[in-house]
Amino acid sequence: MPPQPAYKRVLLKVSGEALMGRRDYGLDADTVASIAQDVRDVVTAGTEVCLVIGGGNIFRGVSAAAAGMDRAQGDYMGMLATVMNALAMQNALERRGVPTRVQSAIPMSSVCEPYIRRRAERHMEKGRVVIFAAGTGNPFFTTDTAAALRAAEMNCDALLKGTQVDGVYSADPRKVPDAERYDQLTYLEVLSRDLAVMDAAAISLARENGLPIIVFNIHTPGAFAQVIRGEGRFTTIVEPG
């Protein structure tokens, strides 16, 4: 028999930049398709999956604010970018036979559902993938924080952060070749060492709700399914003991 999934329900956080592939901007169709296939494999194996996707491949509110734009206005534009990414991922999943719903924290009924927690839970119970778009619906909060919030609301067993590298390092291993890699960390270690995994609000929210964070390389084909089985290379962030 194949290994049984270690988790019944998870939230996968994917950055907008992860969808660019080797492009400098926008969406890379092959990358989106590869991630969609990995999600399909996990769902087929029996794990309920929801997603939060960032918007940095299209627009970043923080960068716009640094250039002089009102921060709140920039963040709202960034939220709209996440909706575009969510619709693209929904299309890729449904082309692979995975029923998918997009729920937006900013109501836009012509293109997706509004975020309703009980409806989202019902979708997942029926085997549908739910993609949460538009962050928390509020400026000044990142999609990392939105991911921790939605994972807690959905009673997920874990929050998986798909990144460009195979875990958490003391520095960017693509720039610092001798950076130390960690197999396991506590929430407080991540905060005290200022490790660039997720923002402090997301880490604190996960800690308060006892939500394990698992960081892995989203670009390694099959890595998502491996992590769900407790295999492969990843870093786990949990409460000690």
What pLDDT was estimated at residue 1?
57
What pLDDT was estimated at residue 66?
81
CA-based nearest residue to 159, from 18, 50, 85, 44:
50
pLDDT band at 81 (very low <50, low <70, confident <90, very high): very high
What pLDDT was estimated at residue 3?
67
Six token digits for residue 159: 């929050």
Task: List strands edge to edge, sheet with 184-185.
Answer: 113-114, 100-104, 129-133, 48-53, 9-14, 158-163, 213-217, 235-237, 184-185
What pLDDT was estimated at residue 83?
98
What pLDDT was estimated at residue 67?
85
Largest CA distance in the chain: 58
Residues in the chain, total: 241
What value does the mean pLDDT take over residues 225-241?
94
Asked if pLDDT for residue 120 goes beyond 60, the answer is: yes
What pLDDT was estimated at residue 5?
79
Residue type, 88: A
Read off the pLDDT of residues 8-35 as tens digits, 9 standing for 90 and up. 999 999 999 999 998 999 999 999 999 9
**For the chain, which residues make up each domain, given as ranges?**
9-237
Asked if pLDDT for residue 121 goes beyond 80, the answer is: yes
What kind of fold does domain 9-237 have according to CATH?
Carbamate kinase (3.40.1160)
Using CA atoms, how far apart are residues 208 and 223, in angstroms rounded to an integer?
A: 27
CA-based nearest residue to 15, from 31, 37, 38:
31
CA-based nearest residue to 43, from 7, 14, 95:
7
Which backbone phi and psi does 148 adopt, to 5 degrees? Answer: -65, -40
What value does the mean pLDDT take over residues 45-67?
91
Helix-helix angle 200-208:143-153, to 10 degrees: 10
What value does the mean pLDDT take over residues 173-185?
93
What value does the mean pLDDT take over residues 96-105?
98
Buried b (16+ CB within 10 A) or exposed e, 154-170: bebbbbbbbbebbbbbe
pTM of the prediction? 0.95
